[in-house]
Amino acid sequence: MTKEKSNTVKSVLKAFAIIEELDKAGELSIGELSKRLSMDKSTVHRLINTIKEAGYVTQNEDNRKYSNSLKLFAIGNKVVKSTGIKKIARPYLEYLADKTGETVNLGVRVGAKVIYVDKIESSSTIRAGLEIGMTVPTYCSGLGKAILAFTPEDALNEVLDEINFKKYTKNTIQDREDFLKELEVVRNKGYSIDDEEYVDGLICFGVPVFDYHGNPVAAVSVSFPKYRYDESKHHEMHSKLLLETSRELSKQLGYRSEHNF
């Protein structure tokens, strides 16, 4: 390898080291990165400007610190899908469908929307849910709320800036502050509920799926017609089964921490 190629490889490795350090910390200054990585400030400054120019890092205008952009998050979602999250999740979806008798969905976030990537239909004649490949707004879906509740703050704010909070039903959340309060409830419980917020007559329970970094890369939900919903019977059963699924499926993706729910 020539000296020029060797230097190029070293620069690429250092750039990845910066991205990985930002992934761990969330937001860091050039000085903090320099100290953490034992790298000259001038080198960090040069590399991070290149990464920023490519769109993989953003800078906070208030404190001048840097963080990874949604571009990396979107790529991560695509990688997870292409490397088999559907295959990994399928047995868990089948288990949920068998236990609940209702439609079970797997979705990933793309920007401010969620795309349905897999689904198992309810065994009942009358079913509820959307088709594979369809997208729905994150703010009025069980899948979307489950993912956004555990999305890092900077990335969450970028998503919220894209949302216009259009009203689909009488139950649709139409205010950013109200939605943030809803996400806090989801974080505390560990699961989300879409109570006729996107489609009249449809109720949905959702949970996040975490990767080895603790990022919510997908979500699983159970959806069914509202008329079949008996709160005293279904609320505890569905939430318990979904939380169990979230824990076990996340472990399959390398997640080892435990949330307090």
Task: Give per-residue pLDDT as tens, 170-208.
Answer: 999 999 999 999 999 999 999 999 999 999 999 999 999
Tokens found for residue 169:
């039903």
Q: Is the pTM of this model over 0.75?
A: no
pLDDT tens track for 36-89: 999 999 999 999 999 999 888 999 988 999 998 877 766 665 655 544 788 899
Contacts made by residues 74-81, CB under 8 angstroms, sequence distance 24+: 74/110, 74/111, 76/211, 76/215, 76/217, 77/108, 77/109, 77/110, 77/217, 77/218, 80/108, 80/211, 80/217, 80/218, 80/253, 81/108, 81/117
Q: What is the pLDDT of residue 82?
A: 46
Pick the CATH number of 3-68 from 1.10.3720.10, 3.90.1150.170, 2.60.15.10, 1.10.10.10: 1.10.10.10
Residue 2 pLDDT class (50, 70, 90 cuts): low
Residue boundaries of the structural domains of the chain: 3-68, 74-252
Q: Which of 14-18, 129-133, 134-138, 215-219 has the lowest mean pLDDT?
A: 129-133
Quickly list DSSP for 5-17. HHHHHHHHHHHHH
Class (C level, CATH) for 74-252: alpha beta
140: Cα separation from own chain's centroid = 15
Residue 217 pLDDT class (50, 70, 90 cuts): very high
Q: Which of 246, 195, 240 is nearest to 93 (CA)?
A: 246
Bridge partners (DSSP) listed for residue 125:
none
- 202, 220 in Cβ contact below 8 A? no
Q: What is the pLDDT of residue 76?
A: 62
CB atoms within 10 A of CB 237: 14
Q: What is the pLDDT of residue 173?
A: 96
- 83, 215 in Cβ contact below 8 A? no
